[in-house]
Amino acid sequence: MSFAVESHREPSGLCGEPNPEPPASVASTGREAPHHHHSLLEAFQSLLYVVVIALFILTFTVQPFRIPSESMEPTLLVGDFLLVDKQVGMEFPPRVFAPTSLIQRGDLVVFHYPVDPTLHLVKRVIGLPGDRVRLRSGHAYVNGAALNEPYASFRPTAADSYRDEFPRMDSADPSVDSRWWIEMRPLVTGGELTVPPESYFVLGDNRNDSEDSRYWGFVPRGNIVGKPFLIYFSLNSSQPTPGQSAANAMAGDSRPRSSGATGPLAGFARWERALHVIR
């Protein structure tokens, strides 16, 4: 740009007319070029900061997950997308937000599946280290007292003495991990299973259709990734869940649709579950 301006003023100089001062347009262009490059550099630095902060948050504080199975219904539905607070799974600083409270009985946790750590599961904590756990008719008892479980669902199904009367040591379900069957025996006293240190006993809210600690054992503290705290989006499941009417199949649960969405996008997602805080 400056070259074009200079060549435009050359004829007056060639004709002998003095031009002691640089043209105003040339001087102005000379000042703008560094400023333009400086603005680009600042924009790039700002973008870099945003990327670094986003990567830091995803790495150390929040991570998205999707629910693929029915084991946590009705709390979590197939197709729910969760944000998980990973600070509870951190064994070291730094912490971006206020420290997350310790894992408590009744908390939902995302963790590496002990049988295959490449997989992530989400279940509810029933037994803490040192707790004595048992199930009677599928309902959980901890340290001799029945838990208040408003989140639990007991869909009609065939009786299963191992599943419903856990721990049951005279027989095992075919899906029970053999290593867990051996590990569990010395931990059972008086019909109660004692949770060892740095471990947790977890169950699915869909109590009659969940492979959980009953079938493969405890969740080690080091396997826990974090606590889910928000459903930020929810895709509809194409298949109705057991006990669900055909009319409500597209809603993803047995309740009527609360969203007023209509048209082709109405069945695409469960809009009423978006930004839903998990309890």
Residues designated catalytic? 71, 123
Helix boundaries (H) for the chain: 2-14, 24-60, 161-164, 178-184, 213-216
Residues 6+ apart with CB under 8 A from 234: 77, 79, 80, 81, 252, 269, 270, 273, 274, 276
User: Using CA atoms, how far apart are residues 227 and 107, in angstroms rounded to an integer?
Assistant: 7
Q: Using the Cα atoms of residue 180, residue 185, residue 187 and residue 193 in order, give the sign of their dihedral.
A: positive
Residues 6+ apart with CB under 8 A from 160: 173, 208
Taking CA atoms, 156 is separated from 69, 77, 78, 141, 206, in Å, by 18, 18, 20, 21, 11
Helix or strand (DSSP H, E) at 225: strand 224-234
Joined together, the tokens standing for residue 150 give 């408003």
Joined together, the tokens standing for residue 130 give 């040192």
Taking CA atoms, 10 is separated from 14, 17, 100, in Å, by 6, 10, 72
